[in-house]
């Protein structure tokens, strides 16, 4: 039976824009996701995060759910425009996160705070967003403000969530806010996110509890080739997706092959002397989000080119300078996102990280599945496919651990159904259901199952 280390951290995760609502209350400024979701046609069903799960007003109830689940940690994100609209500290916004952190600590739950889960203040996007170097410095100022406010109580800080999505979906394919389709700007965004990460770690370390752990969450792609002949396509996608972040953040340098592959798009002159060293701050743990693997092959140039990368077809591709790569459909079963279920990719990814960065522990900061849940006449949600997904992926984590990987924890995405970005509320990832309309919280079977796993520290069966 798969087992986990004694001090393994069990948690759940959410993000501010996806759950909070209260988009224009108590001095919160607009973010790029407010602008994006309020633009007709960009989000499925015209959904917005205006109300979301109303977590801002239902904080105590949600904290009690976390407590009843028995989790040891809760990963949430801070809404930058709520706490620092227009570059000025907003006390009511800061108070909300103080209440959240204190409410967690009172219940014996460790707060894991993500600074940036995609909700850039709109005024910074008006000044060119992450394509502008200045945004990295604004991010560090915001990090310092949060460190000063809750840095005495938060022991785990995550600077960025999935900068891959911020840069490539936000600025290249345009399916996420701010919805731009400018490949050169997207690569500048990659760099300014890396730089902002390093500056934020420095700013936090200057003010927070010295024992605090520093981290970043990456959605690393586990890339496989259709055949041996596709090794170079795998290398190319790995550079753009993974090493564009791992390189500067963990090794202090961009991979040479990435610079060469993208030479037709940019000369990377936005990287200044010393930037890569700044991006490479000592980290205590690397956050990994995993949902499914990626399958590629070299395109023959004539057949219909497959683009089944799982990231929605937008006006343009997020895969800059990868016109000669195909993203292949993968065998099922699939989740409601159309993503294939393949937990072997998670074991392989964790072992690759262990091999490449043996001194860097990891934690799974997101893993989970969307399914079209139904409430049965008994008032319950029998989401056995989600239970099966979580069971498989936790088994995969345990396998990686037994093969030597130092994995410190696991956070289910998500605590509750929420605003799934451009998919709106149609895609439901929660282990707790949020009833449309009433926003009533209903435990799905997966929540009961996860509570038992957390309590025993092992998987059933």
Active site residues: 162, 366
Q: Note whether 161 binds ligand FCB by CB under 6 A.
A: yes
The least CB distance from residue 420 to ligand FCB, in Å, is 5
Closest by CA to 113, choosing from 94, 127, 135, is 94
User: Looking at 138, 420, 443, 459, which residue binds ligand FCB (CB under 6 A)?
Assistant: 420
Q: Reduce the DSSP state of residue 151 to 3 states and report it.
A: coil
Select the span of 33-41, 161-169, 252-260, 325-333 touching ligand FCB (CB under 6 A).
Answer: 161-169
Q: Note whether 411 binds ligand FCB by CB under 6 A.
A: no
Residue closer to ligand FCB by CB (options 240, 280) is 240
Residue closer to ligand FCB by CB (options 162, 230) is 162
User: Looking at 219, 262, 335, 347, which residue binds ligand FCB (CB under 6 A)?
Assistant: 219
The least CB distance from residue 136 to ligand FCB, in Å, is 20
145 touches 83 (CB < 8 A): yes
Beta bridge partner(s), residue 86: none
Number of residues this chain uses to bind ligand FCB (CB under 6 A): 12
b/e map of 57-77 (b: 16 or more CB within 10 Å)?
Answer: ebeeebbebbbebbbebbbbb
Question: Could you give the CA distance from residue 454 to residue 412 in angstroms, rounded to a whole number?
Answer: 11
Q: Note whether 429 binds ligand FCB by CB under 6 A.
A: yes
Hey, which residues between 261 and 290 contact ligand FCB (CB under 6 A)?
Answer: 289
Hey, which residues between 350 and 389 contact ligand FCB (CB under 6 A)?
Answer: 366
Cβ contacts of residue 381 below 8 Å, gap of 6+?
Answer: 373, 374, 375, 433, 442, 443, 444, 445
The least CB distance from residue 68 to ligand FCB, in Å, is 23
Beta bridge partner(s), residue 393: none
Helical segments of 411-444, H only: none
339 touches 291 (CB < 8 A): yes
Residue closer to ligand FCB by CB (options 225, 430) is 430
Helical segments of 239-279, H only: 244-246, 256-261, 275-279
Residue closer to ligand FCB by CB (options 289, 362) is 289
Select the span of 21-29, 149-157, 160-168, 206-214 touching ligand FCB (CB under 6 A).
Answer: 160-168
User: Looking at 413, 425, 443, 450, which residue binds ligand FCB (CB under 6 A)?
Assistant: 413
Hey, which residues between 14 and 43 contact ligand FCB (CB under 6 A)?
Answer: 15, 18
Hey, which residues between 318 and 357 contact ligand FCB (CB under 6 A)?
Answer: none
**Six-digit token pair at 256?**
């040479």
309 touches 294 (CB < 8 A): yes
Cis peptide before 229 (omega within 30 of 0): no
Cβ contacts of residue 71 below 8 Å, gap of 6+?
Answer: 10, 11, 12, 109, 454
Half-sphere exposure of 259 (CA within 13 A, CB side): 12
Residue closer to ligand FCB by CB (options 85, 287) is 287
Residue closer to ligand FCB by CB (options 254, 291) is 291
User: Looking at 36, 389, 421, 450, which residue binds ligand FCB (CB under 6 A)?
Assistant: 421
Residues that bind ligand FCB (CB under 6 A): 15, 18, 161-162, 165, 219, 289, 366, 413, 420-421, 429
């Amino acid at each position: 039976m798969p087992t986990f280390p004694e001090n393994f951290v069990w948690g759940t995760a959410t993000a501010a824009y996806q759950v909070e609502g209260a988009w224009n209350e108590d001095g919160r400024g607009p973010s790029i996701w407010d602008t994006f979701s309020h633009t007709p046609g960009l989000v499925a069903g015209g959904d917005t995060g205006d109300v979301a799960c109303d977590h801002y007003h239902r904080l105590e109830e949600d904290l009690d759910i976390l407590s009843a689940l028995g989790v040891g940690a809760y990963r949430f994100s801070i809404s930058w425009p709520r706490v620092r609209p227009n570059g000025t500290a907003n006390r009511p916004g800061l108070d909300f996160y103080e209440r959240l952190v204190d409410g967690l600590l009172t219940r014996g739950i460790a707060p894991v705070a993500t600074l940036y889960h995609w909700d850039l203040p709109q005024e910074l996007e008006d000044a060119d967003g992450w394509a502008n170097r200045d945004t990295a410095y604004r991010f560090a100022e915001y990090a310092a403000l949060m460190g000063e406010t809750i840095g005495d109580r938060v022991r785990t800080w995550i600077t960025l969530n999935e900068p891959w999505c911020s840069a490539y979906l936000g600025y290249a394919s345009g399916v996420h806010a701010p919805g731009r389709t400018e490949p050169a700007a997207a690569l500048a965004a990659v760099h300014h996110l890396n730089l902002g990460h390093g500056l934020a770690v420095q700013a936090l370390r200057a003010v927070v509890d010295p024992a605090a752990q520093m981290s970043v969450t990456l959605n690393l792609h586990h890339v496989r080739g259709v055949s041996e002949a596709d090794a170079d396509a795998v290398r190319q996608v790995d550079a753009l997706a993974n090493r564009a972040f791992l390189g500067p953040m963990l090794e202090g340098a961009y991979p040479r092959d990435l610079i060469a592959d993208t030479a037709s798009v940019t000369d990377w002159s936005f990287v200044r002397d010393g930037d890569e060293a700044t991006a490479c701050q000592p980290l205590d743990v690397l956050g990994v989000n995993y949902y499914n693997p990626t399958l590629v092959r070299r395109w023959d140039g004539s057949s219909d080119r497959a683009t089944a990368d799982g990231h929605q077809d937008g006006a343009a591709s997020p895969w800059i300078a990868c016109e000669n790569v195909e993203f292949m459909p993968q065998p099922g079963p699939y989740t409601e996102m159309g993503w294939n279920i393949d937990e072997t990719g998670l074991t392989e990814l964790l072992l690759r990280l262990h091999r490449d960065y043996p001194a860097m522990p990891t934690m799974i900061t997101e893993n989970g599945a969307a399914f079209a849940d139904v409430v049965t006449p008994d008032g319950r949600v029998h989401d056995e496919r989600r239970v099966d997904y979580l069971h498989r992926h936790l088994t995969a984590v345990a396998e990686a651990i037994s093969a030597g990987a130092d994995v410190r924890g696991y956070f289910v995405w998500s605590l509750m159904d929420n605003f799934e970005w451009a998919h709106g509320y149609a895609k439901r990832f929660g282990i707790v259901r949020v009833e449309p309309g009433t926003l009533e919280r209903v435990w799905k079977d997966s929540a009961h199952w996860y509570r038992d796993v957390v309590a025993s520290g092992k998987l059933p069966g």
